[in-house]
Amino acid sequence: MKRLDLFLLFLLLPLDFLAIFLAGVGVYFLRFESVLKDWRPAMELIPFKEYLALISLVALIWLIIFALAGLYNPRPKRFFDEFIKIFLACSTGTLLVISIIFFRRELFASRFIILGGYVLSIFSVTFFRFLINRFRHWLYKNGYGVKNVLIVGEGRLVEIIRNEFNENLYFGYRVKAVFPKFDEKQVENLAKETELDEIILVGQKFSPEELKYIIETAHEMHLTVKYASDILGGQLFKINSLTLAGIPFIEVKMTPLDGWGKIYKRIFDIVVSLVLIICFSPLLIFCALLVFLTSRGPVIYQNERIGEKGKRINVLKFRSMYSEYCIGKQFSNSDAALEFEKKLIEEYGIKKGPVYKVANDPRLTPVGRWLRKYSLDELPQFFNVLIGDMSLVGPRPHQLREVEKYDKSDRKILNIKPGVTGLAQISGRSDLSFSEEARLDMYYIENWSPLLDLYILLKTPGVVLKKRGAY
C-alpha cells in the first residue's frame, strides 16, 4: 500500500473514536441541557466528568467491535457495504452497553441516552467515513496517491478495466500502458519511466512456469500483481481477492506485512527504538568515547546499503576499522581501501555467493574487534529505525555490489525494510551461507507476524552474548 493509503487507513481509528465520543457528548447535552430536560425531567443526573470517562471507555470498546466487523480492512469497499457494517457494529456495541447496564444498574438509567447515542453514533461514524472517502477521492482525482498500473492481456475485459480506471480516478488506479504479452524488458523500462506500482494480468491462461516467472520478475521490481478472471488454476500463492469497478481481482501477496501490519510494525519500531536509545544511552556514550579515544577518524561510520525497494540508505555503525581502511564518501582514500578489501576477500573470504565476510579481519582496531564480537558497533542503527530507514526486525541490509549479484528470486528480500536483527541473525549469524540466510529471510517475509518479531527480538540478546557466528 502507498503511504497515503496507510495514513488514511490509520486515520480511521482516531476519527471513529472522535465520532463515537461526540455522539455520546451530543446526546448528553440533548438530554440534560436542552428542552428535553423540562419536557421529561431526568430521574437522575449523571455527573459530566464521570460520563466523559465512561463514554471514552465505551468508544474504545466499540473500536474493537469495529475491527472485528471488518471496518478497518484495507480493501476498497462500496459506501453502502461500509454503512451496513457500521450499522451492525453500532448495533452490537449498543447491545453490549445494554447488557452491562442490565447486570450493573448503578451505572445510569437513561434510556434516551442509550437510544439517542445509538442513532447519533451511526450518523456521526458514517459522516466521518463519508468525509474520509470524499477526501480520498479528491486526492486521487488530483493525482495524489494514485497507483500506476500496467495491464497485460487482450480482449474486451482489458478495455473495460482501462476505461473504468482512467475515467473514474476515485478507484485510485491509473492505467499507464497495456501490453498484449508480458515482456520483462518492456515492463522494466515502463517501471523506470512511470514509477509503476502494479501489474494486472487479464484474460489469459498461463502455464505454471510462466506464472512463476512473471511473479518473480514483478517482485524483483517491487510491483504488486493482480489477476482479473480465473487464471490461477491450481497454483498455490498467498492471495487476496477484491472487487474493483464490479470486476473480481485476485492479488498475489508478497507478504502479510501490509495494511495494518505495516502500520503496527512502524509504531512498534518507533516506540521500542526510542525506549532502547534511552536505555542504552550510557552504553552508546561509552562505546563512542572508546572509538574516539583509541583511533583517528569519525566515531560513526555511514555504511551505504540497499534498503526497501532498492532505496540507498546510510546504515549507522560505530567505526570498527582504522580510518585508512574504511570505504565510503566520508573517507578520502576510499578507492584504495576498496581495492585492499577485494584482495582480503579473495584471501580470507569465508562466504560463498553475493555476500562476503572476512575472517580475522586485519583492518579492525582492537576496540573495533571487541565491538563487533558483541554487535555493539550496530547500536547506532536504532536511530536508523527511528527515522524509518530500517526496522528492528527484518533481513540484514547489504551493499550495492552484493545486491547486484543477487539471483532474481533473492531480490524478494528487498520488498520490506531491512532490520537490525532478523531470523537469520538468531539462527547462526555469519555461520550461515548466503543461500541459507536468504531462505530464512524469505520465510520471515512470507510468514511475518507480530509474535514472530517479538520472538526474534527476545532471542537476539542471548545469541549475541553467546558470540555465535561472530567474527
Is 438 part of a structural domain of the chain? yes
Q: Do 161 and 245 meet the contact criterion of CB atoms below 8 Å apart?
A: yes
For every residue of 238-273, DSSP letters joined together read -EEEEEETTEEEEEEPS-S-STHHHHHHHHHHHHHH
Q: How far is CA 282 from the centre of its chain?
A: 31
Which domain does 154 fall in, by range?
147-252
Predicted local distance difference test score (pLDDT) of residue 62: 93
- What pLDDT score does 110 carry? 62
Instruction: Say if 198 falls within a structural domain.
Output: yes
Q: Are residues 282 and 239 in the same domain?
A: no
Domain boundary among 117, 141, 165: 141
In this predicted structure, what is the pLDDT of residue 336? Answer: 92
C-alpha cell at 465: 552474548
Q: What is the pLDDT of residue 282?
A: 94
pLDDT score recorded for residue 412:
84
Angle between helices 260-279 and 3-32 (to 10 degrees): 90
Q: Is residue 122 one of the residues assigned to a domain?
A: yes
Query: Given 226, 252, 278, which residue is the final one in a domain?
Result: 252
Q: Which of 93, 108, 141 is the last residue of a domain?
A: 141
pLDDT at 260: 84
Contact 140, 167 (CB under 8 A): no
Give the model's pLDDT for residue 231: 47
Secondary structure (3-state) at 392: strand
Say yes or no: 420 and 382 in one domain. Answer: yes
> Total structural domains in the chain?
3
Return all residues near 280 (Cβ < 8 A) that are at least 6 apart: 379, 382
The three three-digit cell numbers of residue 56, written as one number: 471514552
pLDDT by 10s per residue, the chain, length 471: 678 888 888 999 999 999 999 999 988 888 766 655 555 555 556 778 888 898 999 999 999 999 988 888 877 677 777 888 899 899 988 888 887 776 665 545 567 788 888 899 999 999 999 999 889 888 888 888 888 999 998 888 888 888 888 887 777 888 999 998 888 888 888 888 888 989 998 876 677 788 888 888 888 888 888 887 644 444 445 666 677 776 777 777 777 787 888 888 999 999 999 999 999 999 999 999 999 999 999 999 999 999 998 899 999 999 999 999 999 888 888 889 999 988 888 888 877 778 888 888 899 999 999 999 888 999 999 999 999 999 999 999 998 888 888 887 788 888 899 999 999 888 866 667 888 888 889 889 888 888 899 989 988 988 887 765 554
Task: Assess if residue 446 is contained within a domain.
Answer: yes
Instruction: Assess if residue 233 is contained within a domain.
Output: yes
User: Same domain for 235 and 321?
Assistant: no
Residue 234: the pLDDT is 43
- Which CATH number do you get for residue 225? 3.40.50.150
Distance CA 184, CA 194 (A): 15
Same domain membership, residue 237 and residue 134: no
**203, 154 in Cβ contact below 8 A?**
yes
Q: Per the domain annotation, does 471 fall within a domain?
A: no
Closest among 260, 268, 205 to 232, alpha carbons compared: 205
Q: Is residue 61 part of a domain?
A: yes
Closest CA relative to residue 110, chosen from 29, 56, 35, 53: 29
Query: What residues contact 195, with CB distance under 8 A and at least 6 apart?
Result: 148
23/127 same-domain check: yes
246 backbone dihedrals φ, ψ, rounded to 5°? 75, 10
- The whole-number pLDDT of residue 102 equals 67
Same domain for 117 and 206?
Answer: no
- Alpha carbon distance 417, 319 (integer Å): 23
What pLDDT score was predicted for residue 389?
94
108/46 Cα distance (integer angstroms):
7
- Determine the residue type at 215: I
Q: Same domain for 339 and 244? A: no
- 236 with 367, same domain: the answer is no
**What pLDDT, on a 0 to 100 scale, did the predictor assign at position 358?**
83
Smallest Cα–Cα separation from 199: which of 254, 262, 278? 254
**Is 164 found in the same domain as 126?**
no
Residues 417, 369 share a domain: yes
226 in the same domain as 302: no
Residues 219, 295, single domain; the answer is no
